[in-house]
Amino acid sequence: MIAINLATCFLAVLGTFLAVFEWTAAKRREFLYLYMTTERPDSEYFHSARHRRRQFAIMLFSFILLTCKEIYANSVLYRPTALMQLDWHPLSSVSPLLLYTELVSVLFLGLAFLMGPRRLYTRLQKWFNYQLIGITVVFALLVMTRQVTDVFPTFYRVYLGVVVIAIIAGTCRGKAESRLPQSLAFALLAVGVFGNTILFHRIATFAALFLFNTLLLQNIMEQYEEVEFDRHRMHRERQVVVSFLETMGNAYSTVFDLPQVLRMIMESSLKATGATSGAIFLKDSSGKLQAKLSRGFFPPMYDNTEPEYRARRTELLQTRMLEQQFNMSEGVIGQVARTGEPMLIMDVRKAGVMSDKVTEFMRNRSMVLVPLTIQDEVLGVMAVLNRETAIAFDEDDQGILQSLADHAAFAIRNAAMVAELAQKERLDRELQIAHQIQQQLLPRECPQLPGFDLAALGEAALEVGGDYYDFFWINDRRLGIVVADVSGKGIPAAMTMAIIRSIFRSQSREERSARDVITATNSVIFPDLRRDMFVTAFYGILDVNARTLAWCRAGHEPVIAVQSEGGLQVIAPSGAALGIADESVFDDIIVEQQIYLAPGDSVLIYTDGITEAMNSSGEEFGIDRLKATMASNGCPDGASIIAKVERAVHSFVGSAPQHDDMTMVLVRAR
């Protein structure tokens, strides 16, 4: 009996030391994944290491309870003078507190051995909490009612038997090689209880602890092998990442554009995984994944069509592959991009990703696909195919490729930002040049006419706008006036504006009316103007001697005339915009209007940037406010009227940004 007690106590202490060793190793492994590797904190490796540390922390606590119980039992209950008398005494003679401690330690051991699969941990934790609370409440009630000595040993037997049966049932879900030892160890605990004698109980406890320590030693050996494997994997992974970063760092001193970055990423990926081919798909502005690069022979996916010319088979298949694009939910490319999880395919032919016709010569048909992500934003997908050796890709290759992809995503984003900045700088230079050209095309100043006062304003929403105005002499008494608005903004609108300006000037000959000039202008530009562009225009002829203004309105804003006799009028003769209708339709729509300008009369020609100017509430300035401003002009000259309208518009808009060009021309008779 003495030998069994001492051996049982020794096994409990040994189990405690083994659990401490396991817990320390698991803790180091967790910190290793967190601080010493390129693993992400949300990776499966990191979560598994943390879960294992929790598992052995629970196991350590259970062995500490068993050790304390054994030391107390050997020093107090099993004194040498009383051992022979207690050998065959019933189990009820043992202290209920020791039985309670043993029951709690068995619960902790069961939780530790059953929480192998991480997904079961939450449910097991709830089950364990309920059991622990239950036996504690029962023990406390029996102590308070002073029935613990009589009742608790019986409760201990029955309850431990039920718990052990549940634990044994749970161990059947664990590893096959550890099911029998675990089940046998817990069964021995139950058998020892139902043996009804202390000697039988001690022998069963000794055998159970022996099995538990054997399992711990076996687990230590397995953990050592796993750590060595992980160390090799992390060393290889670190070499790949460091080599890639060195390559990218050296490239910053040379030309660094997106195609070059993609080539370096793919070369590093093929070298790291030993693949013969690979491809990179990036998400475009429409949200689709477009093939941007391929290396080696990477056939098109989900395409069974055989090329027409066998001699150019490889070239045609590669061209077809680079034309492929996938939605975020289409094929394996879309699945990896949507889920953000890597994918390992052992045989692309059996998986239906590639056909037999394009894979028959490959040594193996395995493929690894990994997402290119930055802060949960998916930039694209990288895939490698057909390893050089006959061995297929494995999870080790998948992990290495994912680590490289995490760093590659930053390089892709940086290259894209560099390209965007370069394009913006180039566009800014082009806009600056176009702005200078546009300013040279606009009149430097308004003509000085006897009996008339001309004023103009032109403010572009962008550096180069689509609005323009122009004055030019047709003969010594007739002045041509043009105010036009080209659809769109930027350089295309400015170039169209320059063309329209030249056409109006070339078509304005001495005897032509305003209607003749504007119809001829439409006939010239209609065949060549892009279908998504049009031009609204006002073309007028001011006869200085006759004091008349004749004009046509090609889809342009109405003219506001303030006359001493007729008051304020909004005049809008019919007419279609330039470039949207051919000569036969346009000529039937356009109408010429003419008014006489007495001293004090004025005419305002403007673009829709004036009436459609919006404030921060989304409300437009509108023609009514423009009419009210013109009706109360009281200004001595045309420049003062233009300035007053400009102030009214800016006061209404406030701090809201300018969305459209604003152009005005005022003709005032003196």
469 and 402 in a common domain: no
Return the pLDDT at 87. Answer: 42
494 and 528 in a common domain: yes
Domain boundary among 231, 248, 276: 231
Question: What's phi and psi for 343, nearest 5 deg?
Answer: -140, 135
133 and 15 in a common domain: yes
Question: What's phi and psi for 472, nearest 5 deg?
Answer: -155, 145
281 and 198 in a common domain: no
- CB-side exposure of 360: number of CA atoms within 13 Å? 4
* Helix/strand/coil for 630: helix
* Helix/strand/coil for 340: coil
348 and 390 in a common domain: yes
Give all strands of the β-sheet with 289-295 in edge-to-edge order.
Answer: 325-326, 289-295, 275-283, 377-387, 367-374, 343-345
For every residue of 568-587, DSSP letters joined together read EEEE----PPBTSS-HHHHH
Contact between 103 and 135 under an 8 Å Cβ cutoff? The reply is: yes
Return the pLDDT at 172. Answer: 58
Supply the CATH number for residue 277's domain: 3.30.450.40
Give me the residues paired with residue 578 across strands. Answer: 535
End-to-end CA distance of the chain: 131
Contact between 115 and 55 under an 8 Å Cβ cutoff? The reply is: yes
Supply the CATH number for residue 43's domain: 1.20.1070
433 domain residue, yes or no: no
Give the ranges where 252-382 is alpha helix by DSSP (H).
Answer: 258-273, 313-322, 331-339, 356-359
248 domain residue, yes or no: no
Q: How many domains does the chain have?
A: 3
399 and 322 in a common domain: yes
Domain boundary among 190, 214, 231: 231
Return the pLDDT at 46. Answer: 63
Return the pLDDT at 363. Answer: 60
Contact between 320 and 303 under an 8 Å Cβ cutoff? The reply is: yes
What residue type is assigned to position 294 of the chain? Answer: S
357 and 462 in a common domain: no
578 domain residue, yes or no: yes
130 and 43 in a common domain: yes
Token pair belonging to 214: 């054997």
477 and 405 in a common domain: no
Contact between 294 and 306 under an 8 Å Cβ cutoff? The reply is: no
For every residue of 142-200, DSSP letters joined together read HHHTT-HHHHHHHHHHHHHHHHHHHHHHHHTTS-HHHHHHHHHHHHHHHHHHHT-BHHH
* CA geometry: angle 120, 122, 126, nearest 5 deg: 115
Contact between 368 and 397 under an 8 Å Cβ cutoff? The reply is: yes
Domain boundary among 183, 214, 231: 231
655 domain residue, yes or no: yes
How many angstroms separate the CA atoms of 7 and 209, rounded?
10
- The 3-class SS string of 207-238 reads HHHHHHHHHHHHHHHHHHHHHHHHHHHHHHHH
Contact between 562 and 633 under an 8 Å Cβ cutoff? The reply is: yes
Give all strands of the β-sheet with 567-571 in edge-to-edge order.
Answer: 452-459, 662-669, 602-606, 559-563, 567-571
**Tokens 């459609």 belong to which residue?**
612
How many angstroms separate the CA atoms of 273 and 388, rounded?
9
Return the pLDDT at 666. Answer: 96
58 and 89 in a common domain: yes
Return the pLDDT at 312. Answer: 64
This prediction has a pTM of 0.48
Give me the residues paired with residue 75 across strands. Answer: none
Pairing assessment for the beta strands 559-563 and 602-606 based on DSSP bridges: antiparallel
Ramachandran sector of residue 664 (left: φ over 0; alpha: ψ -120 to 50; beta: rest): beta
Token pair belonging to 56: 């052995």
Q: Which helix (H) or strand (E) holds 552?
A: strand 548-554
R_g (Cα) of the chain, nearest Å: 44
* Residue 388 belongs to domain spanning: 258-421
Contact between 603 and 597 under an 8 Å Cβ cutoff? The reply is: yes
How many angstroms separate the CA atoms of 493 and 484, rounded?
11
564 domain residue, yes or no: yes
How many angstroms separate the CA atoms of 166 and 359, rounded?
52
410 domain residue, yes or no: yes
Contact between 583 and 526 under an 8 Å Cβ cutoff? The reply is: yes
546 and 470 in a common domain: yes
Return the pLDDT at 183. Answer: 67
- Which positions ≥6 away from 42 have C-beta within 8 Å? none
Q: What are the per-10-residue average pLDDT scores of the chain (670 residues)?
A: 75 83 76 55 62 80 82 62 43 65 77 61 61 72 67 68 67 56 67 62 76 77 66 62 62 66 86 88 90 88 66 74 88 91 90 75 78 88 86 83 83 81 78 73 89 91 76 93 85 81 88 92 90 91 96 95 87 93 92 94 94 91 93 80 92 86 92
Supply the CATH number for residue 543's domain: 3.60.40.10
- Which positions ≥6 away from 626 have C-beta within 8 Å? 560, 604, 606, 610, 611, 645, 648
- State how far the alpha carbon of 241 is from the alpha carbons of 268, 383, 406, in Å: 9, 17, 10
270 and 139 in a common domain: no
Question: What's phi and psi for 368, nearest 5 deg?
Answer: -120, 130
Q: Report the number of secondary-structure helices (H) and strands (E) in the chain.
A: 19, 16
- State how far the alpha carbon of 379 is from the alpha carbons of 248, 273, 338, 370, in Å: 18, 21, 11, 11
Return the pLDDT at 18. Answer: 82
Q: What is the pLDDT of residues 608-631, one digit of tens each?
A: 999 999 998 889 999 999 999 998
Classify residue 137 by burial, with Cβ atoms within 10 Å: 0-12, 13-18, 19+: exposed
Distance of CA 339 to the CA centre of its chain: 11
Q: Which helix (H) or strand (E) holds 137?
A: helix 121-144
* Helix/strand/coil for 326: strand
Return the pLDDT at 197. Answer: 62
Return the pLDDT at 538. Answer: 97
How many angstroms separate the CA atoms of 562 and 631, rounded?
7
426 domain residue, yes or no: no
Closest among 132, 9, 5, 139 to 66, alpha carbons compared = 9
Contact between 108 and 61 under an 8 Å Cβ cutoff? The reply is: yes
452 domain residue, yes or no: yes
